[in-house]
Amino acid sequence: MAAKTFPKQAKPTCSMFSMAASSAGPSNSNLVQHFINMGFHERLVTKAIIESGESNTDMILETILTYSVLEDSQQVDQNTCHGSSNQQQCVHDDELSSDYDDSLDDSEIDDFVCLPNGMSQSPNIVTICKFHFYAFAEIVKISGIDIYLVQENGNSLPDNENVLLSLASMGYAVEEVSEAMERCGPDASVVDLIEFITAAQMAKTEAVFFEEEKPKIFVNMELKRKQNQEALERNKKKGPLAEQDDVIRLPNPMIGFGVPSICSVVAYRTLPEAAIGPPFFYYENVALATKGDWETISRFLYEITPEFVDSKYFCAAARKRGYVHNLPINNRFPLLPLPPRTIHEAFPLTKKWWPEWDKRTKFNCLKTTYGSPKLTEMVRKAVEKCGDNPPDHVKKYVLEECRRWNLVWVGKNKVATLEPDEVEMILGFPRNHTRGGGLSRTDRFKSLGNSFQVDTVAYHLSVLKNIYPDGMNVLSLFSGIGGAEVALHKLRIPLKNVVSVELSEANRDIMKSWWQQTDQKGNLVHLADVQKLDPHKLDKLIKSVGGFDLIIGGSPCNNMAGSNRVNRDGLEGEQSSLFYDYFRILETVKIIMNRRN
């Protein structure tokens, strides 16, 4: 479908326009006029003010946007099925993929503007609303958002300039687009770049609550063009994405050397002589780190190939991780009783309210962030307006938000975010493990989001039960809230001595509280900083405990995670470079213990 082109003489400008206000409506005519001047229809403005009151402009704007989405989408369906008087062409959702329409040819796009549906079709306005985009021609589906792209003229540009100009005219900062093009490579599609930028924007902020952005109005197209040209010149000097930054090819299914529900496909493996324990070691990080990062990790850890496992085979949530270790792989066994493996097993009371069109059985990876009440209210309104069987476009919007924020259905048309104690259960921690001690709800989510999935780790560590029936000495690096210690305890492996190294005081307090509550008989030593754990301190620790049987931990993934599109510097990043301290400490312990033996 060819993009509709503006006439040359009607080239868009970025000035705001005014519409005559009707005399009918709420008492505050200035408030009505304010939203009319933003381009919304007076009927929707009046309706929203009556429902939301005149005191909260943010709530009025949110209500107007919600009405616009539902009403305009229904109008699109009607125009498609029965014909439209203005001959505007519409596209059914089922003609598109779930993410985007890949029929769009980036090389044919010049400049684009986006108009919320229902606003003036005059080419003299450019208004961009992140919540929902509408205009006259091509449509792209990205994360549940409809983006209609309108071609300004037929002139062609080189592909990279074309894409940059297109994204800039959508309102993305030139620096963000440049970063995305550098990271994603020259062949990345518009959709890939937008997903990259959106993830980067989420990674930049430390705010935990999800906030829908207010409509943004961009008012200087000539300045945008100048910035585009400057960014293009910088891009030409940077070159393509380095080969070592490619994403590693992950196995499918991601079961490593086997999981309880699927028979092992590998019966044995050969380890390099330098890697053979004791001490045993176990290192974890995100599976979606780059190929180059995993090759570096493997090279430093004695050329051992990572074991990639998705925790969805152990619990009700996906958690794709890579594990490098020298543990035996035979005679593994799972923790009993087996934890819930599906959402409905974990939360049976949700079945009553779960719509048949929501086919989720697993949560996505549990994050350090969670959805806001504002988001769940918007979802409720979107579903409630449509009755028991919402149209496809509403279903897609709702499902995108449910998947992104792991929402559950808790009432008729009502969704909610998971609570911290529910996340604890899914990740295999005891109830109230992170509760109390001055920790806020935000702190609890952050600590849990950075932790091990206990059942997965316990399955791998289960081989140690017969090797150390009388207990173990453990050096736990980046120990967080004690996922490794909880796993060993659930396996009924006595913890004789645990040296836990964790920077977060809150996490250290959680670990200390668990140690006391479970009446551990061994000794717990807390240290704060792995970088200060030098050979002298290690020698003293080894002398005091008699050596370590297991060195376990996962260095920070901040600079390696696929969701971090801003500071994804891999193992050279400020936090993730602490991997080298894991290796340094492991190698030092091996040298000291060999010398003592």
- Cα separation of 576 and 583, whole Å? 13
Q: Would you state the structure tokens that stand for residue 287, as one six-digit string?
A: 């599976």
> Is a pLDDT exceeding 80 seen at residue 103?
no
* Residue ending a domain, choose from 43, 65, 89: 89
Decide the pairing of beta strands 414-416 and 138-142.
unpaired
Catalytic residue status for 557: yes
Whether 67 and 104 map to the same domain: the answer is no
* Residue ending a domain, choose from 369, 385, 418: 418
- Range with lowest mean pLDDT among 14-18, 178-182, 573-577: 14-18
pLDDT range class, residue 68, cuts 50, 70, 90: low
Confidence (pLDDT) at 176: 77
- Give the strand order in the sheet containing 112-113: 112-113, 145-151, 138-142
The answer to the question of residue 1 being in a domain is no
pLDDT, average across residues 587-596: 91
- Cα separation of 453 and 311, whole Å? 7
Whether 436 and 317 map to the same domain: the answer is yes
Confidence (pLDDT) at 173: 76
Query: Of 114, 129, 386, 557, which is the active-site residue?
Result: 557
- Range with lowest mean pLDDT among 164-168, 271-275, 520-524: 164-168
Whether 41 and 146 map to the same domain: the answer is no
pLDDT range class, residue 316, cuts 50, 70, 90: very high
- Cα separation of 347 and 353, whole Å? 11
| Run of H or E including 309 | strand 307-310
> Count of residues for the chain?
597
Confidence (pLDDT) at 247: 66
> Taking the CB of residue 342, how many other CB atoms lie within 10 A of it?
14
> Is a pLDDT exceeding 90 seen at residue 174?
no
The answer to the question of residue 132 being in a domain is yes
Whether 111 and 154 map to the same domain: the answer is yes
Whether 574 and 439 map to the same domain: the answer is yes
pLDDT range class, residue 70, cuts 50, 70, 90: low
Whether 269 and 405 map to the same domain: the answer is no
Q: Would you state the structure tokens that stand for residue 463, as one six-digit string?
A: 């081989």
pLDDT, average across residues 306-322: 95
> Is a pLDDT exceeding 70 seen at residue 117?
no
- Cα separation of 23 and 28, whole Å? 11
pLDDT, average across residues 488-513: 95
- Range with lowest mean pLDDT among 68-82, 87-101, 247-261, 291-305: 87-101
pLDDT tens, position by position, 265-274: 666 788 998 8
Contact criterion met (CB below 8 Å) for 378 and 62: yes
The answer to the question of residue 233 being in a domain is no
Burial of 557 (0-12, 13-18, 19+ CB in 10 A): buried
pLDDT range class, residue 488, cuts 50, 70, 90: very high
Q: Which comes out higher in pLDDT, residue 14 or 67?
A: 67
> Is a pLDDT exceeding 80 seen at residue 74?
no
- Cα separation of 263 and 240, whole Å? 42
pLDDT range class, residue 338, cuts 50, 70, 90: very high
Confidence (pLDDT) at 569: 65
> Is a pLDDT exceeding 80 seen at residue 432?
yes
> Is a pLDDT exceeding 70 seen at residue 588?
yes
Whether 512 and 583 map to the same domain: the answer is yes
User: At how many degrees (to 10) do helices 57-82 and 392-405 cross?
Assistant: 130
Confidence (pLDDT) at 123: 34
> Is a pLDDT exceeding 60 seen at residue 463?
yes
Give the position of tokens 């510097």. Answer: 569
Q: Which comes out higher in pLDDT, residue 58 or 468?
A: 468
Q: Nearest 5°: CA angle at 6, between 5 and 11?
A: 140
Q: Nearest 5°: CA angle at 224, between 223 and 228?
A: 120
Q: Nearest 5°: CA angle at 362, between 70 and 265?
A: 145
> Is a pLDDT exceeding 60 seen at residue 5?
no
The answer to the question of residue 217 being in a domain is no
- Cα separation of 423 and 419, whole Å? 6
Of 72-86, 162-176, 242-256, 390-404, where does the model show the most confidence? Answer: 390-404
The answer to the question of residue 279 being in a domain is yes
- Cα separation of 261 and 338, whole Å? 11
Give the position of tokens 């593994």. Answer: 332
> What are the backbone angles phi and psi of residue 465, rounded to the nearest 5°?
-60, -45
The answer to the question of residue 562 being in a domain is yes
Q: Would you state the structure tokens that stand for residue 100, as one six-digit string?
A: 């985007």
* pLDDT-above-90 percentage for the chain: 42
Whether 435 and 304 map to the same domain: the answer is yes
Q: Nearest 5°: CA angle at 564, between 482 and 449?
A: 25
Residues linked to residue 115 through DSSP beta bridges, in sequence order: 134
pLDDT tens, position by position, 207-231: 333 333 333 334 444 554 565 555 5
- Cα separation of 46 and 473, whole Å? 69
Q: Residue by residue, what is the 3-state secondary structure of 349-405?
A: HHHHCCCCCCCCCCECCCCCCECCHHHHHHHHHHHHCCCCCCCHHHHHHHHHHHHHH
Decide the pairing of beta strands 523-527 and 495-501.
parallel
Q: What share of the chain is helix, strand, coil (3-state, %, to 5)?
A: 40, 10, 45
- Cα separation of 184 and 16, whole Å? 35
Whether 197 and 315 map to the same domain: the answer is no
Burial of 500 (0-12, 13-18, 19+ CB in 10 A): buried
Owning domain of residue 44: 14-89
> Taking the CB of residue 231, how many other CB atoms lie within 10 A of it?
23
Nearest CA among 271, 260, 395, 273 for reference residue 315: 260
- Compute and round to an integer the Cα radius of gyration of the chain: 28
pLDDT, average across residues 521-536: 92
CATH number, residue 575: 3.40.50.150
pLDDT range class, residue 291, cuts 50, 70, 90: confident
pLDDT range class, residue 576, cuts 50, 70, 90: confident
> Is a pLDDT exceeding 60 seen at residue 406?
yes
Whether 404 and 469 map to the same domain: the answer is no
pLDDT tens, position by position, 126-156: 333 333 333 333 344 333 433 334 333 344 4
The answer to the question of residue 313 being in a domain is yes
| SS3 assignment, position 99 | coil
Longest alpha-carbon distance in the chain = 92
Residue 504 CB contacts under 8 Å (≥ 6 apart), including other chains? 447, 480
Whether 291 and 394 map to the same domain: the answer is no
Confidence (pLDDT) at 155: 43
Give the Å distances, CA to CA, from 256 to 135, 185, 224, 270, 509: 47, 30, 49, 15, 33
Decide the pairing of beta strands 145-151 and 112-113.
antiparallel
The answer to the question of residue 541 being in a domain is yes
Residue 488 CB contacts under 8 Å (≥ 6 apart), including other chains? 458, 461, 464, 472, 474, 495
Domains held by the chain: number: 4
* pLDDT-above-70 percentage for the chain: 63
Whether 581 and 521 map to the same domain: the answer is yes
- Range with lowest mean pLDDT among 85-94, 337-346, 398-407, 542-551: 85-94
Mean model confidence pLDDT for the chain: 74
* Residue 279, preceding peptide bond in cis (omega within 30° of 0): yes
* Residue ending a domain, choose from 178, 205, 232: 205
